Amino acid sequence: MRTLFKSLIVAVAVTATASMAFDASANTNRLDQILEQVKRERQLEGRVNQEREQAFINARQDQQRLLNEARRALANQEARGERLQKEFADNDILIAQKEQELIAAQGTLGELFGMVRGSASDAIGLVSSSIVSAQYPGRHEPLRGLAAATELPTIPEMEDLWVALLTEMVESAKISKFDAEVVNLDGGTSSQRVTRFGSFHVTTDRDYLYYNADTNQLQPLGRAPISRVHNSVSDFHNARPGTLTNLFVDPTKGNSILRLNQQRATLMEYYHQGKFVGYLITVLLVIGLLIAIERFVVLSLVGGKIRAQLKNLSNPSDGNPLGRILKVYHNNKSADVENLELKLDEAILRETPKVERGISMIKLFAAVAPLMGLLGTVIGMIMTFQTITLYGTGDPKLMAGDISLALVTTALGLIAALPLIFAHSIVATKAKSVLHVLDEQSAGIIAAHAEKEKA
């Protein structure tokens, strides 16, 4: 047993020794491989470093070459700058000499140049805003170059100036018709036959036009002038050849008076400036006139019936005041004079309110209308002073509306009172004539009845 155990120990030891010998041999081979790899990598890294170093050396040479070229270019440019600066100074001296020579050579032509340029500048404004340009557009364009020129004008340029001024002078004395694009009130345009009256007006067959120099277009007036002026256009175009007719001409060439006419308020606009007070005055006027018309018609009919009754006193009718009074007489023939007179007076008093109904209202409205106008005046002045308090007196337009209220209501009150006074007078006269006939017939009846009693 002990022998066997020893044999096993020896076998294990031999095996371990063999393994260690094998591992040592393997490690030696691996180290040789690593050494060879390091040597190869070192050689490779050396070659890479040599290549990079050579690239750096080549780049440095290129940069040096570029630097040398840039320095040579800078030197060339500096030399060129000095040369150009010297040439510029020499040219300045030469230009000054030539200018002096030009001034000396021009002589009086220099004054001519100034006059031509000034005349061209003035002509541009005259021609571009002229109504003649509506027929001959673009006449001012050749003059712009002449007005802005810095050298002597040429003969053709001066001829353009002469032709433009001559055309303006000649055409301003002519009445000519031509087709032109006219801007409509809706913003569109249409080709229309227009008539140009010198340099004052352009019209269609019924309306005035004005020339807008900014857009080079003919445009209608926003609001037609008063009818007397506006109708003169159609009267002129409808006149027979050889007949004389009137046409109103704006001496400002249609740019001031006719244009300002657009800002003039119409009668209806003036009326609405009276506001609520003016409307109340109008209501009074309408009601008063309606009452007056109704009373006038009724009293006229009553007067006609009374006249018919006068022709037939023996047959009284209930359809008129005189007939009803006559019936009172026929029903009281047996009464004495005093009772009959009282009966007739009573009958006349019953008829009087029917005849005079509404007449006092007309008189009241005629008296109230001016007072309401005065009320509107006071209200307008109060509002005017409030506006002055808030905004001062710097802009009169801020107070115009309130002042219009004050003045328009006064005018409306007087306008309403005048027809109401006349209407009241007419209707009152009608009523008095009816009552006069009744009083007259009543007095005649009483007198005749008194004579019968005495007989």
Report the half-sphere exposure of 200 (CA within 13 A, side-chain side): 11
Cβ 340 vs Cβ 446: under 8 Å: yes
Task: Give the pLDDT mean for 248-261.
Answer: 69
User: Tens digit of pLDDT for each residue in 231-244?
Assistant: 777 778 787 877 77
The band of 421, judged by pLDDT with boundaries at 50, 70 and 90, is: very high
Helix axes 397-454, 321-331, angle to 10 degrees: 30
Task: Give the pLDDT mean for 317-338.
Answer: 77
pTM for the complete prediction?
A: 0.53
Strand ranges for 172-282 from DSSP E:
175-183, 189-197, 201-203, 208-212, 217-220
The band of 1, judged by pLDDT with boundaries at 50, 70 and 90, is: very low
Per-residue model confidence (pLDDT) at position 415: 87
Of the ranges 171-175, 347-351, 364-368, the best mean pLDDT one: 364-368
Q: What's the rounded Cα separation, in Å, for the pair 423 and 431?
A: 12
Per-residue model confidence (pLDDT) at position 309: 76
pLDDT at 2 over 60: no
Residue at token pair 């007078």: 425
The band of 14, judged by pLDDT with boundaries at 50, 70 and 90, is: very low
Total residue count of the chain as it appears in this document: 455
